[in-house]
């Protein structure tokens, strides 16, 4: 679901609700007399309850989305560390692992191009992964397992390389599983309905002046930005707010050195 489209829809409904409240206020049936404090208190209590529920739900969802985003950011940084460590372990293993190091670099380039398609920071050669990549993470692990160590040091390095490659495989599946978190449409509909009702109550008692209208516009824009933020954080590898690919690119530049 496009965050920008949802934000625009939210703004339209929220500010539309305010305009609806202003229009309803013209009718004496909807707007009670100024001395009818009981009606005002009833409206304020009801809208206070709706506002509290909306703020609570938005706060919880935003916190959850931010937590997921931070988890993916940490996973990318850990993957870059494992990638560089694996390359150095293979370099220490000896010339027998030269082809595997080249395979490792090809796998890393393919994964970066897949997770950040068309990234501005990527070299032109990495803009698109090959249609049928000759190497995979699983194939890389198998290649490392196929090494025949000739001494104890190579045996230890092989075991360490397999461990790092397996960790990288786990991070890969974590990234794929958490690449995008879809917010249920029913959730968005309910939240937008609540916001429309809240802003309709604001418009019902709002004075007819520029300051009040500006406040309603700013408020509508703010809640629209809140939903935009939630949806953007739910897609950590795309959109305006995305996890940086710089840690992996830096690791890639240091490989095979």
Mean pLDDT within 168-179:
63
For residues 88 and 82, what is the distance between their CA atoms, to the nearest angstrom? Answer: 10
Are 114 and 129 in contact by the 8 Å Cβ rule? The answer is yes
Site of tokens 């710089």: 246
Site of tokens 């390095």: 157
Look up the domain containing 133 and give its range: 3-254
Closest CA to 20 of 240, 199, 227, 253: 199
Number of domains in the chain: 1
Site of tokens 């990495």: 126
CA end-to-end distance (rounded Å), the chain: 42
| Whether pLDDT at 37 is above 80 | no
pLDDT band of 199, cuts 50, 70, 90: very high
Mean pLDDT over each residue of the chain, to the nearest integer: 81
For residues 86 and 109, what is the distance between their CA atoms, to the nearest angstrom? Answer: 15
| Whether pLDDT at 133 is above 60 | no
* DSSP category for residue 238: S
Closest CA to 80 of 137, 164, 138: 164
For residues 231 and 224, what is the distance between their CA atoms, to the nearest angstrom? Answer: 11
pLDDT tens track for 208-252: 888 889 999 999 999 999 999 988 888 877 778 888 888 888 888
Burial class (CB in 10 A: 0-12, 13-18, 19+), 41: exposed
Higher pLDDT, 38 or 160: 160
């Amino acid at each position: 679901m496009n965050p920008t489209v949802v934000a625009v829809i939210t703004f339209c409904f929220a500010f539309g609700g305010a305009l609806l409240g202003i229009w309803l206020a013209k009718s004496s049936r909807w707007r009670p007399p100024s001395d009818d404090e009981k009606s005002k208190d009833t409206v304020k209590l009801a809208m206070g309850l709706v506002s509290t529920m909306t703020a609570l739900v938005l706060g919880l969802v935003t916190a959850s989305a931010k937590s997921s985003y931070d988890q993916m950011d940490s996973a990318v940084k850990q993957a870059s560390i494992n990638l560089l460590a694996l390359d150095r372990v293979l370099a220490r293993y000896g010339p027998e692992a030269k082809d595997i190091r080249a395979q490792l670099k090809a796998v890393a380039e393919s994964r970066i191009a897949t997770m950040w398609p068309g990234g501005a920071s990527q070299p032109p050669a990495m803009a698109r992964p090959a249609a049928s990549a000759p190497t995979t993470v699983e194939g890389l692990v198998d290649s490392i397992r196929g090494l025949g160590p000739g001494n104890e040091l190579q045996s230890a390095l092989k075991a360490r390389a397999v461990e790092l490659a397996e960790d990288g495989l786990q991070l890969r599946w974590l990234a794929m599983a958490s690449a995008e978190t879809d917010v249920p449409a029913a959730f968005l509909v309910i939240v937008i309905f609540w916001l429309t009702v809240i802003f309709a109550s604001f418009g019902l008692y709002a004075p007819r002046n520029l300051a009040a209208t500006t406040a309603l516009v700013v408020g509508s824009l703010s809640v629209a930005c809140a939903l935009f933020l939630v949806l953007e954080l739910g897609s950590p590898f795309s959109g305006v707010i995305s996890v940086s690919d710089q840690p992996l690119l830096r690791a890639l530049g240091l490989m095979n050195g």
